[in-house]
Every structure is written in C-alpha cells, then in structure tokens.
Structure 1
C-alpha cells in the first residue's frame, strides 16, 4: 500500500494504518479520502498538497530479497 506525506509538517497517511481519529479505518485508500481532507496534524495542507511516498516498491523489493535469501540457504 502507499503512504502520503504532508509537505508542511511531515504527517504520514498510511493506507494500511488509516486515520481512525478522523474516521478512516485501516485499509482506507487515499482515493476514498475526500479532496478537502485537511492534514490532521497541522491543518495547514489539504489532500492535493500531500506527496506520494510509494511503499509498494520497497515492499516488493523486500519480498524479492527474502525470496533470494530463502533460495540461497
């Protein structure tokens, strides 16, 4: 899953974790978040300002590293 970071304060919205305080349960995708979603930490930035932090690629490479390790042991 992907994370999105507030460029102002660094708050990180992780789709796997959600933001239960704001009513978004774990697994809530970024697409399901309303466009006027304010950063719950600083309230300065809204959803369009957030920067994509693609964790899918790192998850994929970690899985590949684990598979390689298993094959060489």
Structure 2
C-alpha cells in the first residue's frame, strides 16, 4: 500500500489528495506534495502552497 497524504488549504478547506492528484492543473494521480511546483496555488482560492497542512485520514 502506498501511503499517500492529503493536504488541506488553511484558507478555504480545499483538499489535495496525493493519490488522486489534480489533473485539472496537470498534476497526475500519485504525485507527491513535494513534487508539486512551489509556485502552485490553491485552485479554489489562490492560496500559496505554504498555506496547506497535511492531515491524517483513514483509507478503506
């Protein structure tokens, strides 16, 4: 099992799930947070990548 993390925007609550990626911005499923460019911003509110926090989730 790959231990993918979820990162949540502290400004609006948008969730970036490493397992799902964000294809709308060209980020493929399985892309790790550290591999996303530092200038990437929240697609919902425009917050900086530094405004995201990792959260623990339970996967079935």
The TM-score bracket by the shorter chain reads 0.7 to 0.9
Q: Which residue number corresponds to residue 23 of structure 1?
A: 26
Gapped runs of 5+ residues in structure 1?
A: 63-73
Give 1:65's aligned residue: none
Q: TM-score, normalised by structure 2?
A: 0.85
Moved over 2 A (4+): none
TM-score of the aligned structures, taking structure 1 as reference length: 0.71
Q: How does 1:1-73 map to 2 (within 5 A)?
A: 1-43=4-46, 45-55=47-57, 58-59=58-59
Q: What are the ranges of 5 or more consecutive residues in structure 2 without an aligned counterpart?
A: none
Greater helix share, structure number: 1
Aligned residue-pair number: 57
Displacement of 1:54 in angstroms is: 2.6
CA distance in 2, matches of 1:41, 1:50: 13
Q: 2:22–2:28: 8 Å Cα contact kept in structure 1?
A: yes
